[in-house]
């Protein structure tokens, strides 16, 4: 056998067959089913009409959907704006070593272990003005708080619930990033006379960039797909003030059984998430790394 020629064995392709089958059944075929629905009007199991892009056009012009999309964008944006700084602060204030750090790690991750619908239930009770701790406390302070009656209160409660549930994720990721910074960086910064703020800005934050980027993407995707918690807490109301995209979709697909528009919208929804993640990722990749031309000329 010659050592210089790599042996070629086309049978090796069969080795990826299991993966191919798994992916086909778990992702490609369900997705194609949705594509199939999105271009047909299915009147009954035996009666269907090909409608082309009609559903897409209809969905895009749907006022209700515009409202849901706008609420969704507002919500996801607020989630990031609140959870990112809060998570970083949490990471910075966590003890670095010893039994305290282990204890804090466990306590901080507790909320991450609670199932979504349980979180919704917890907050539903927590916010009730008659028996809930928060609701009753706010009432005692003279605030007419009601997450079922007041759209602003409902919206804030959903946001607060998400912050409570998911800020620890950012905190844990940030903590991991902080622990990976070698001591020499802090020593050098101290020698260079850097203030605490400068150490944060020039040492800690840049070193946390990678993990925070993952955190932002996870939180963005998750919050953009939020369903269970507001569904349990407010059911999308009052009115449709907390009806976000996935709930809107469910109403269409399950509630009204409009499979065509629902499928078309599913695809649009998927593309929106993909596009926004792509933009977000590329933007964050570039932040703080581009050449600063002429700043010292």
Partner 1 sequence: MARIDLDLAHSYVKNPRQDNDYALLPLKMTFEEGGAYALLGPSGCGKTTLLNIMSGLVTPSQGTVLFDGRDVTGDTPQQRNIAQVFQFPVIYDTMTVAENLAFPLRNRKVPEAQIKKRVGEIAEMLEMSGQLNQIASNLAADAKQKISLGRGLVRPDVSAVLFDEPLTVIDPHLKWQLRRKLKQIHHELKLTLIYVTHDQVEALTFAQQVVVMTRGRAVQMGSAADLFERPSHTFVGHFIGSPGMNFLAGRVDGDGFHVDGLTLPLLPGRVLPTGEIKLGIRPEYASLVAADTEGALPMTVSMVQDVGTHIMLSSRLNGHLLKARLPADAAQLSPGDTVWMKVMNEHSCFYQNEEIVP
Other Cβ atoms closer than 10 A to 259: 19
According to the binding rule CB under 8 A, does residue 64 interact with partner 1? no
Residue closer to partner 1 by CB (options 18, 193) is: 193
Q: Give the one residue of 96, 110, 141, 184 binding partner 1; rule: CB under 8 A.
A: 184
| DSSP letter for each residue of 147-171 | TTT-HHHHHHHHHHHHHHHHHHHHH
Smallest separation, CB 197 to partner 1 (Å): 11
Q: Give the one residue of 198, 271, 274, 279 binding partner 1; rule: CB under 8 A.
A: 198
Residue closer to partner 1 by CB (options 2, 195) is: 195
Helix (H) or strand (E) holding 43: strand 40-44
Smallest separation, CB 189 to partner 1 (Å): 8
Q: Give the one residue of 164, 200, 202, 227 binding partner 1; rule: CB under 8 A.
A: 202
- Quick one: tokens of 44? 């009954």
- Quick one: tokens of 133? 């701790």
Smallest separation, CB 204 to partner 1 (Å): 11
Burial 90-121 (b: 16+ CB within 10 A, else e): bbeebeeeeeeeeebeeebeeeeeeeeeebbe
According to the binding rule CB under 8 A, does residue 192 interact with partner 1? yes
According to the binding rule CB under 8 A, does residue 293 interact with partner 1? yes
According to the binding rule CB under 8 A, does residue 10 interact with partner 1? no
Place of tokens 């065509």: 260
According to the binding rule CB under 8 A, does residue 98 interact with partner 1? no
Q: Which residues pair with 50 in a beta bridge?
A: 40
Q: Give the one residue of 67, 151, 206, 210 binding partner 1; rule: CB under 8 A.
A: 206
| Structural Rg of the chain based on CA atoms | 25
Smallest separation, CB 193 to partner 1 (Å): 4
Q: How many residues of this chain interact with partner 1, rule: CB under 8 A? A: 26
According to the binding rule CB under 8 A, does residue 200 interact with partner 1? no
Other Cβ atoms closer than 10 A to 1: 4
- Quick one: tokens of 151? 């759209």
First-to-last alpha carbon distance for the chain, in angstroms, is 64
According to the binding rule CB under 8 A, does residue 142 interact with partner 1? no
Smallest separation, CB 276 to partner 1 (Å): 25
Q: Give the one residue of 29, 106, 107, 188 binding partner 1; rule: CB under 8 A.
A: 188
Q: In sequence order, which ranges of the chain are alpha helices (DSSP H)?
A: 17-23, 29-38, 54-61, 63-93, 99-109, 116-126, 133-140, 151-179, 183-191, 196-199, 205-224, 228-233, 245-250, 259-286
Q: Give the one residue of 193, 239, 283, 286 binding partner 1; rule: CB under 8 A.
A: 193
Residues 129 and 135 sit within 8 Å (Cβ to Cβ): yes
Smallest separation, CB 253 to partner 1 (Å): 46
Q: Give the one residue of 207, 228, 237, 267 binding partner 1; rule: CB under 8 A.
A: 207
Residue closer to partner 1 by CB (options 76, 204) is: 204
Interface residues with partner 1 (CB under 8 A)? 182, 184-185, 187-188, 190-195, 198, 202-203, 206-207, 288-297
């Amino acid at each position: 056998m010659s050592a210089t020629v790599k042996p070629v064995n086309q049978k090796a392709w069969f080795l990826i067959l299991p993966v191919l089958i798994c992916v086909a059944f778990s992702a490609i075929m369900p997705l194609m089913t949705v594509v199939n629905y999105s271009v047909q009007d299915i009147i009954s199991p035996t009666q269907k009409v090909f409608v082309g892009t009609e559903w897409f056009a209809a969905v895009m012009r749907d006022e209700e959907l515009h409202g849901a999309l706008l609420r969704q964008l507002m919500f996801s944006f607020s989630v990031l704006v609140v959870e990112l700084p809060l998570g970083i602060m949490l990471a910075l204030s966590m003890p670095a070593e010893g039994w305290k750090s282990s204890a804090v790690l466990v306590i901080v991750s507790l909320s991450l272990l609670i199932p979504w619908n349980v979180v919704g239930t917890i907050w539903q009770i927590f916010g009730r003005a008659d028996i809930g701790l928060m609701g009753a406390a706010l009432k005692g302070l003279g605030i007419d708080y009601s997450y079922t009656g007041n759209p602003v209160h409902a919206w804030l409660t959903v946001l607060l619930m998400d912050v409570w549930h998911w800020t620890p994720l950012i905190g844990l990721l940030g903590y991991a990033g902080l622990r990976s910074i070698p001591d020499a960086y802090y020593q050098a910064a101290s020698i260079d006379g850097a203030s605490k703020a400068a150490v944060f800005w020039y040492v800690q934050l840049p070193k946390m960039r990678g993990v925070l980027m993952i955190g932002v993407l996870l939180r963005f995707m998750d919050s953009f797909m939020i369903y269970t918690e507001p569904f349990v807490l407010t059911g999308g109301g009052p009115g449709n003030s907390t009806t976000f995209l996935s709930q809107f979709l469910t109403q269409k697909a399950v509630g009204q059984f409009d499979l065509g528009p629902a499928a078309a919208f599913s695809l649009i929804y998927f593309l929106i998430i993909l596009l926004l993640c792509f933009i977000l990722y590329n933007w964050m990749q570039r932040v703080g790394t581009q050449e600063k031309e002429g700043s010292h000329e």
